[in-house]
Amino acid sequence: MSTEEKKQQSEEIDSNPVQFHEDPEEIQAISPWRDAFRQLRKSPLAITGTVIILFFLILGIIAPFITGYGYDEQFLKDRLTPPNSDYWLGTDDVGRDIFTRIAYGARISLAVGFFAIVGALIFGTFLGIVSGYFGKWIDMLISRIFDILLAFPSILLAIAVVAILGPSLQNALIAIAIINIPIFGRLVRSKVISLREEEYILAAKAQGLKNGRIIFNHILPNSLAPIIVQATLGFGTAILEAAALGFLGLGAQPPNPEWGKMLADSRDFIQLAPWTLIFPGISIMLVVLGFNLIGDGLRDALDPKMKN
């Protein structure tokens, strides 16, 4: 900092001493949530993750406006064209523009991730709270169901679910939601069990609050932090699982531009036309990375022990 700047700053402070010492924003009550958000904004990695996700989100939303092609429009003359000014990321084996397909595919991937995670979150949290708060036989029952679900490798379970329901994007989404339920359920259960012993829960009971009210007003808000972190991290996993199912032909059906399906369709051309695989692959990687970065940032921001 140059001396001039320093002088200027000290002048500012001198001319406005009250404001410097008593910033009303600072004195006002700080909600733990707002505090966490402030922490999050300080983390460069979380910001990077947010930028990546926002990029793909916007790409998906404005897809029809930035590309003149349809995602299933075939230009048979221009099959397997390398990236150029007409086809920014090249074309695939039936002459479809890869950039267009990735942009539309972002819609699918983000939507699959969102709905699968929201579904898993709602059911998992509900089951976790019930088993953690009430305990006894209901905890026993729910925990054993979780154990059974977790005993299978997740992708195998997803395949089994899709095999029962039939291959489609919607069923892949349901399958992903189901395999994520025990992850949320266990997390919430353990959090609720530790919260249940907190003195403020006992104090709330001593005030005469009903169980439902204690759960919604005190237990749920206090266990929200790990749920949010898990949801963000799970978002990435869900997208990856959707891509895997798509790759196996059990998720989105042609001509839907699902990223995993795009990889599967072009795996024969990996040497002839690597761009057909590289760009969908990078997209998957970036989105998953983005969510993981946000998840890590959130975990640090919401954990009071990480506060400096």
Could you list the residues that contact another protein (CB under 8 A)?
Answer: 28-33, 136, 198-200, 202-210, 217-218, 221-222
* For another protein, the closer CB: 2 or 28: 28
Please tell me the distance from the alpha carbon of residue 205 to that of residue 213, in angstroms, as a whole number.
10
Q: How far is the CB of 130 from another protein (least distance, A)?
A: 18
Q: Write out the two tokens for 103.
A: 């942009």
Q: How far is the CB of 54 from another protein (least distance, A)?
A: 28
Of 84, 292, 97, 259, which is closest to residue 169 (Cα–Cα)?
259
Contact criterion met (CB below 8 Å) for 87 and 98: yes
Which residues neighbour 50 within 8 Å (Cβ) at sequence distance 6 or greater? 290, 294
Specify the residue for token string 């505090």: 35
Please tell me the distance from the alpha carbon of residue 240 to that of residue 259, in angstroms, as a whole number.
10
Which residues neighbour 235 within 8 Å (Cβ) at sequence distance 6 or greater? 113, 114, 117, 291, 295
Q: How far is the CB of 30 from another protein (least distance, A)?
A: 7
* For another protein, the closer CB: 20 or 216: 216
* For another protein, the closer CB: 213 or 267: 213
Angle between helices 275-302 and 224-247 (to 10 degrees): 170
Q: How far is the CB of 118 from another protein (least distance, A)?
A: 22
Q: How far is the CB of 166 from another protein (least distance, A)?
A: 44
Which residues neighbour 216 within 8 Å (Cβ) at sequence distance 6 or greater? none
Of 111, 89, 112, which is closest to residue 102 (Cα–Cα)?
89
* For another protein, the closer CB: 70 or 135: 135
Q: How far is the CB of 245 from another protein (least distance, A)?
A: 38
* For another protein, the closer CB: 178 or 302: 302
* For another protein, the closer CB: 40 or 286: 40
